Every structure is written in structure tokens, then in C-alpha cells.
Structure 1
Amino acid sequence: MLPIGSVVTLVNGSQKLMILNIGQIIKQNEKDVYFDYSAAPYPVGLDTQEQVYYFNRDNVSEVVFQGFQDEDGKHFGDLYEQWIEETKDEIQRGKVKNDTDIF
């Protein structure tokens, strides 16, 4: 898992995105789903009038910059992976519509 603050580009994407959150649960097609990451455009950041971007680790093409991570961040990553395994029958990973149209 990439830490918050990391800047990435997505498969078939050209816009750099800065990761804001990990493991966001949202509604998609009337069901609760989770995405590995939510992000805002870089270098502009979050504009409350704009959409937040949701995607998963397999949608990442390039890590342009890796954000700060310490032992707390690593521990959180371990807990997140454990949560995914424990809840796999209850909540599904969200699906990106396609690589150029992130949620």
C-alpha cells in the first residue's frame, strides 16, 4: 500500500493524482464498496466543487512520489490488508469503470 501524500498516475491516464485516503467505503450501484485509494488532482489538490477520484492499487501505472511512511503507516497497511481478508465476504472492492474514467 502506498502512503497518503503519494503522487501517482493511472493506467492510460495522464493526470497526476495525490492520494488522500486509504480504504474509503462508498456507494456504487446502490451497494457499499471500498476502494484502496481516494485522490485529488496534483498539484491543485482537493477542490470541494470537484469530484474525488477513487481507484485501486491495480489501476496505478506509475508512482511519481512516495509519501511519508513510518511504523504507524506500516502498521495501518498491515491492518488494512487484514481487514480486506476478514471482510471479503461482506464488502467488495469497488470497480473502476475503465482506466480513463476513474469513478
Structure 2
Amino acid sequence: MRKYLPIGTVVLLKNGDKPIMIFGKNQICVKNNEIFDYVACLFPEGNISSDFNIFFNEDDIEKIIFRGLET
């Protein structure tokens, strides 16, 4: 079974200039029906609306800034 980063993890994407916070794993982007490892929102702003959701895969992560709660 695949091990995803925990919800609440804050990352910086490659070529990114602002941190984002993961709030979902194994997500489908309804705009193109593509499956991504994660969905995130801007940090520290939070989830403004679905128009600002950021879908990405593990390979897109440059740096983990903060690791969310692991159970």
C-alpha cells in the first residue's frame, strides 16, 4: 500500500514561490478527470474556493516545510 504524506503537510513545489498545504490524497481533478496524488490550498490562506485548488503528484514536491500529524 502506498504511503502518502499526512493531511496538513506544508510543501513547496518545484518552480513554486508560495507554500501550499495538503488537504486531500488520491484526488480526481474534475476539470480534466485526471488522478493526482494530492490536492492542496495556499498556505497560510487556506481553502478559498475550488477554483484555487492545486493538484499535484509526489514528484512535483521540492521541499517539505512541515509534516502533518501522523497517526
Does 2:36 correspond to 1:35? Answer: yes
Q: Offset at 1:26? A: 2.3
TM-score (norm 1): 0.61
Which structure shows the bigger proportion of residues in helix conformation?
Answer: 1
Where do 5+ consecutive residues of structure 1 fail to align?
71-103
Q: Offset at 1:49? A: 6.8
Which structure shows the bigger proportion of residues in strand conformation?
Answer: 2
Cα deviation code 1:32-61 (max 9, x no counterpart): 321000000000101127420000000000
Q: Offset at 1:62? A: 0.2
TM-score (norm 2): 0.86
| Cα distance, 1:49–1:68 mapped onto 2, change above 3 Å | closer
Retained in 1: the 8 A contact 2:29–2:55? no
Q: How many residues align?
A: 67
4+ aligned runs moved over 3 Å, structure 1: none
Equivalent residue, structure 2, for 1:25: 28
Alignment RMSD, CA only? 1.3
Where do 5+ consecutive residues of structure 2 fail to align?
none
Query: What secondary structure, in the 3-state scheme, does the structure 2 residue paired with 1:3 have?
Result: coil
Where relative contact order (Cα < 8 A, 6+ residues apart) is larger, the structure is: 2
The percentage of aligned residue pairs carrying the same residue is 36
| Cα distance, 1:15–1:26 mapped onto 2, change above 3 Å | same
Give the aligned residue type for 1:42. F
